[in-house]
Structure 1
Amino acid sequence: MRRADRLFQIVQYLRGGRLVTARALAERLEVSDRTIYRDIADLQSTGVPIDGEAGVGYVLRSGYDLPPLMFTRDEIVALVAGIRMVKSWGGIGMARAAAEALVKIELVLPEAERRRVADANVFAPPMELTDDVRALIDLVEAAIEARDILRFAYAERQGAKTQRRVHPLGLWFWGKVWTLVAWCETREDFRMFRLDRTVGLAITGEQFKPAAERSLGACLRQYEARYGPQG
């Protein structure tokens, strides 16, 4: 859990006027008592009205609420544009999560900023992505997170198909197609695979161990060495 998320959760747990011990907070958040003491001190230093002390417990004074999210107009337009792009060009799960994220953002925005979300005139027309490719985007993204080895047949530009086992490292979107960036066991080198050219892509049930020489960073360095810095 990110520290910012942990601090937010501490404030939520202290609501209701009940005394909560540092040990109880530590158990809920799966951190040490010392981490909770440090977090409480940091929250108090920023003006959050938490009363109590170590060894006794803590309570949040009544009437305190987290301030609403505040974004500038440009930030709101950027958020809406990014979410609309994911909804149009991302995986099925990504699109659903993007829509839910926008709803959550709108709920905590003040009324004036909420209207800006509806008035953001930046759109992302749907790409010609089939549902099968959208599902692959989600599957590959999950495999990257879990370090699952993937296998599939890959259709080369000339039409020939080769069997591949790869360590998925990243997903790149090129405006029209998504590519999987991976370490290919078959070629013993980094490769990029268009998702729409994969056949029978599936998780093998095996996991790969991270290695610096086979990481996404190493792939990017190799790419820049061959083709020069990008961007």
Structure 2
Amino acid sequence: MSRSERLFALLQALRRHRRPVSGRVLAEETGVSLRTLYRDIASLQAQGAGIEGEAGLGYVLKPGFLLPPLMFSPEEIEALVLGARWVANRGDDPLQDAARNALARISAVLPPELCETLEASPLLVGPGSALPASSVDLAVLRQAIRTERRLSITYRSAEGTASARVIWPFALSFFDHARVVIGWCELREAFRHFRTDRIDAVEVLDDRYPRRRQALLRAWREAENIPQRRMLLP
């Protein structure tokens, strides 16, 4: 285990304890000697970690302390790289640029040994099927979702029939073969899924929809019987 991994493991162990915990317990949880444990705590305190306490009394991590980016574990780095590579390959242009910029920022603050893990990650994204072109700007859809704005859209069914809809968009799903806006449809009075390549026109309306986006997302998950564990974020 590298020093960075060891310090990360120690911070994670401290996070699990809301009350002061002895150095001996922390040493056992992290698999190091008590002497190394005390040295690691001193190193973290010198780097600004909010650790209070001393030998013989126990240690506690101050509430609200955030782990700095340099404390990513190698597995977390590989997960970030794989996700960013997928977005850079399958996202729209603004998201592709954002994924590359995010990786560059992470690389700039990682210590050398972890930076090598990021740059040499063996996890690759294979080619997927060609995505159908979207007639609308996905950035407009994402902004409407973030600001909880109603959308007026012209939508074509699979048979080519056009209809005017007003929807409450609350999620944008990226599949290998399509991108789908998930929203409440005022016309159908139900949740509906709209492929972006079938949206011919979109207008962001001035007013917000009457329910919060997170509440709609929860209700949709329940309606679709989608377990919480399948969602990375609430």
Global fold match (TM > 0.5) = yes
**What stretches of structure 1 move > 6 A for 4+ residues in a row?**
none
Q: Is the 8 A contact 1:92 1:138 kept in 2?
A: no
1:141 maps to amino acid: R
1:167 maps to what in 2?
Answer: 168
Distance 1:44 1:74 in 2: 22
2:140 maps to what in 1?
Answer: 139
1:112 maps to what in 2?
Answer: 113
The change in CA–CA distance for 1:130 and 1:223 in structure 2 (over 3 A counts) is closer
2:221 maps to amino acid: L
Deviations 1:87-110 (A, max 9, x none): 112232222221111111001111
- For residue 81 of structure 1, report the CA deviation from its aligned partner: 0.3
1:58 maps to what in 2?
Answer: none
The change in CA–CA distance for 1:114 and 1:131 in structure 2 (over 3 A counts) is farther
Distance 1:148 1:91 in 2: 21
Task: Describe how 1:183-198 pairs up with structure 2 within 5 A.
Answer: 183-198=184-199
Over the residues paired in the alignment, what is the CA RMSD in angstroms? Answer: 2.9
The change in CA–CA distance for 1:211 and 1:82 in structure 2 (over 3 A counts) is closer
1:105 maps to amino acid: I
Q: Is the 8 A contact 1:212 1:218 kept in 2?
A: no
Task: Describe how 1:95-110 pairs up with structure 2 within 5 A.
Answer: 95-110=96-111
Task: Describe how 1:75-90 pairs up with structure 2 within 5 A.
Answer: 75-90=76-91
The change in CA–CA distance for 1:180 and 1:126 in structure 2 (over 3 A counts) is same
The normalised TM-score by structure 2 is 0.62
Deviations 1:168-214 (A, max 9, x none): 01112222211111010111111011111111122123321215997
Q: How many residues align?
A: 167
2:51 maps to what in 1?
Answer: 46
SS at match of 1:104: helix
Q: Does 1:210 align with 2:211?
A: yes
1:164 maps to amino acid: R
- For residue 130 of structure 1, report the CA deviation from its aligned partner: 6.2
1:179 maps to what in 2?
Answer: 180
- For residue 126 of structure 1, report the CA deviation from its aligned partner: 5.6
Deviations 1:6-57 (A, max 9, x none): xxxxxxxxxxxxxxxxxxxxxxxxxxxxxxxxxxxxx78526xxxxxxxxxx
SS at match of 1:215: helix
SS at match of 1:142: helix
Q: Does 1:71 align with 2:72?
A: yes
Distance 2:195 2:89 in 1: 18
Name the % identity: 29
1:112 maps to amino acid: E
Q: Is the 8 A contact 1:92 1:131 kept in 2?
A: no
Give the stretch that moved more between structures: 165-174 or 211-220: 211-220
1:152 maps to what in 2?
Answer: 153
Q: Structure 2 unaligned segments of length 5 or more: list them.
A: 1-47, 53-66
Q: Is the 8 A contact 2:148 2:169 kept in 1?
A: yes
- For residue 221 of structure 1, report the CA deviation from its aligned partner: 1.0
The change in CA–CA distance for 1:112 and 1:182 in structure 2 (over 3 A counts) is same
The change in CA–CA distance for 1:130 and 1:104 in structure 2 (over 3 A counts) is farther
Distance 1:189 1:218 in 2: 11
The change in CA–CA distance for 1:212 and 1:194 in structure 2 (over 3 A counts) is closer
Give the stretch that moved more between structures: 213-222 or 89-98: 213-222
1:46 maps to amino acid: I
Distance 1:146 1:166 in 2: 14
